Amino acid sequence: MLAPVALSCAQGEDPTMRRDSGVRTDARTDVTDAAPDTGVAPDGGTADVVETDATACRTNDDCVAADLCTNARRCTGGRCVIVGGAMDCDDSVACTDDRCDAMAGRCTHVPNDMRCPGGQFCIEGSGCLAEVPCEVGDSTCQRLNSNACMGTWSCEAARRRCIRSAPPSCDDMNACTTDTCTPTGSSYACNSAPMFDLMTNPMHCGGCNMACPTRANADAACAMGACAWTCQMGAVDSNGDLNAARDAMSNGCECRGGGGTDVPDLMFVDSNCDGIDGDINRAIFVSATGGADGNPGTMTQPMATVQAAIARAAMSMPVKDVYIASGTYTGAVVLANGVSLYGGYDSTRMPWGRGMMFTTTLNSGSNTAVVGQGLTMPLTMQRLTVQASAGSAAGESSYGVRLANNAGTVTIEGCTVIAGNGANGSNGSSGSMGATGSLGISASGGSSGSGGPSACAPGGTGGVGPDGTSNGTNGANGTRAAGGASPGTGGSGGSRGGGCGSSNAGSGTPGSAGLAGINGINGTSAALLGSFSTAAQYSPNNGSSGTSGTAGGGGGGGGGGGGDSHICFGCCNDRGGGGGGGGGAGCGGTAGTPATGAGGSFAIVATNSAIVVDRSELRAGRGGNGGNGGNGGLGGAGGSAGNGASGSRSNAGNGAVGGAGGAGGSAGSGSGGGGGPSICIVYLGPAPSQSMTSCTRGGGGMGGSGGTNAALGTAPVGPMGLSEDTRAGS
């Protein structure tokens, strides 16, 4: 039960507590006086009597009562005072929503962030703040978590302020989905939705960015995630491949209009609507499976070999072309006038289809795959893989296509042309060493010594020592081989003595030595590139031979000693000594022979021929290695001279020694052969027309080493083979 309280009306009293006739006389209007008080204040003065509910308080919000919203309270003097009427819950904070909660019997102040400037929050009792103060562990920051997709709030311990994390990422890394974040209470959920209709959108049929391929003269559609095509007005799918699988080859609605001439093309278009790319009535058909050369060459009865089909096509009136099904055909092919070859057909269905997946290979089994010579009418090779074997004999080249002297243009279109490796060159042989000259024969008594034998230039014979008072004879000159060095001259005979005790006879003079032979010369370097014949065949760049050494000169014979006589039972003869023979000359060494150059690898060789190469792949193999040059032979040594004989007595002259034979000259060595070239196109005459064509090369071969000997050193090494895409030959 509420008790009446008597309050003094002394100075400073709360005017809301003053009791009066029921009407407020001060300026405050938020309190209504209670009923008139009949009591008397203890000090004898008059006083208002105010009703209180005896609840202690600090603010009006502490005053809680069941009838608060209709019987207002006010915190006065630390107690809740009933003032009556509607409760005023204004907390003087502009951003809060203030109201009296009748159910709870109290004032509520709900922060409303919408009343604050952007980036600020409404804090009860404080107003709008950019940074919300907090204590770690309290729930202050949780109130800010109104949208987890924008990030979540937590209390930062260091600054005691609420901070928000980065927004969560809902990106599923799929460019074909739309990714969204949806807040769910204090958390969030990521959602990804396809951007396209994968069931009906032809640009995304069955999967994102899986567009239905474009097909000729056809419109694409997507039904239940699968591509389907329909021919455009006036177009026809002749070969039935329009609705092949998305990743399969199709030439679409290849026929539009029909009639006329249909030449096979790289787009496989059936322009005359006869069911194939080309003209059934202008072709001889070839199939590696089920074909026979006895067949007429129709689509249902094809021939078996390409060369037999070319012969039949060339005899047709008018000339026909050859359509070749996929498979491998062995044997070199010789082109015929005006007969074109078209590969890439499929003989397993009727009519024959044609596409990139069908490969027709002409495998020669020899060093040349295709030859065309003397053609006067143009022809085309299309969608063929042409492959030649490697060269086998020494210096042999490999040719994918060899064209010579053709007035009609040969067009190679959409083909792969492969040449094998060139063969290595052969080694030169070494020269032989020159024969050695023999020793001159020594004289005996008055007889002369013979000259030393030699296969090239024998030595000269020595002079004769005479019996009696006569001059000794001269030694003979050495011999000289044709082209060889000069020989030695014979020595002079000794003069005769005075006879019977007078002056003594003179001795002969020695023969002179023959000169040494002249050395040969090493071979010269091989050319950088060999030459091409008018038949489009390559002659390798061979090394050259060294030259032989010349023979030495034969040694001259020694002169004979002069004769004399002495006193005996009369006057007796004394014989002079014979002269020694000259040494035989050494023969010159023979030259080392040259190495041959290596064979080359050529995808195409064209001499005096018009040629077009379009959208093709050319592959040249590796050139062979050049042979090694032969070593030059060394010169033979000259023979030593024979000795002269002594006179029969001291008063007779002695024979002289002969001259030594000259040494033979050393021969030159052969040079090394050139390495084989690796070139995609070689031409003599008009340059080829090329477009969208690639070239792959195995590289030029190594040059062979030159021969060598101690006298002349090493002959030149052969040059390395060229490696080029296109080159004008010589």
Q: What is the DSSP string of 558-576?
A: PPPPPPEEEEESEEEEEBP
Gap between the Cα atoms of 248 and 30, Å rounded:
90
Residue 430 — very low, low, confident or very high, per pLDDT cuts 50/70/90?
very high
pLDDT tops 80 at residue 150: yes
Instruction: Say what the pLDDT of residue 41 is.
Output: 37
Per-residue pLDDT at 306 exceeds 60:
yes
Note the Cα 556 to chain centre separation in Å: 72
| pLDDT > 90? residue 414 | yes
pLDDT tens, residue by residue, 162-202:
998 899 999 988 878 889 999 987 788 999 888 888 899 99
At 206-220, the pLDDT tens digits run: 988 899 999 989 999
- Report pLDDT for 260: 75
3-state secondary structure of 148: helix
With beta carbons less than 8 A apart as the criterion, state whether 515 and 582 touch: no
Distances in Å between the Cα of 360 and the Cα atoms of 58, 407, 415, 632 are: 103, 27, 10, 53
pLDDT for residue 283 is more than 90 = yes
Assess whether pLDDT exceeds 50 at residue 5: no
Of 364 and 274, the structure prediction assigns the larger pLDDT to: 364
**DSSP per residue, 164-192:** EPPPPP---S-TTEEEEEEEETTEEEEEE
Q: Quick: pLDDT tens for 316-329.
A: 999 999 999 999 99
**Amino acid 555: pLDDT:** 86
Question: What are the backbone dihedrals phi and psi of residue 387, each rounded to the nearest 5 degrees, phi first?
Answer: -135, 125
pLDDT in tens, 583-616: 889 999 999 999 999 999 999 999 999 999 999 9
- 326 and 345 in contact (C-beta within 8 Å)? yes
> What is the reported pLDDT for 386?
98
Q: What is the DSSP letter of 691?
A: E
Residues 659-670 have pLDDT tens digits of 999 999 999 999
| DSSP for residue 257 | S
The predicted structure's pLDDT at residue 148 = 87
In the prediction, which pLDDT does 558 show? 82
Note the pLDDT tens digit of each residue in 686-700: 999 999 999 999 999
- Tens of pLDDT along 54-103? 789 998 889 999 899 999 999 998 999 999 999 999 988 999 999 999 99
**Burial per residue of 539-571, b for 16 or more beta-carbon CB atoms within 10 angstroms, e otherwise:** ebbbbbbbbbbbbbbbbbbbbbbbbbbbeeeee
Average pLDDT over residues 427-443: 94
- C-alpha angle with apex 435: 433 to 440, nearest 5 degrees? 150
Confirm if 486 and 550 have CB atoms less than 8 A apart.
Answer: no
Q: Does the structure show a pLDDT above 60 at 26?
A: no
Single-letter code of the amino acid located at 681: I
Distance of CA 198 to the CA centre of its chain: 40
- DSSP code, position 80: E
pTM over 0.75: no
Mean pLDDT of 496-504: 82
Average pLDDT over residues 328-340: 97
Q: CA 403 to CA 373: how far, in whole Å?
A: 6
Is pLDDT above 70 for 495?
yes
> Which is more confidently placed, 458 or 196?
458
Tokens read off for 471:
């001059």
Which pLDDT does position 50 carry in this prediction? 53
| pLDDT of the residue at 579 | 82
Question: What percent of the chain is modeled with pLDDT above 90?
Answer: 62
| pLDDT-wise least confident of 44-53, 432-441, 569-578 | 44-53
Q: If you average pLDDT over every residue of the chain, what do you get?
A: 88
Q: What is the mean pLDDT of residues 465-470?
A: 88
CA distance 365 to 363: 6
* Contact between residue 300 and residue 285 where contact means Cβ atoms under 8 Å apart: no
pLDDT at 695: 98
**What integer pLDDT is reported at residue 247 of this predicted model?**
85
Give the pLDDT mean for 521-530: 96
pLDDT 10s digits, 612-661: 999 999 999 999 999 999 999 999 999 999 898 898 887 888 888 989 99
Residue 675 scores a pLDDT above 50: yes
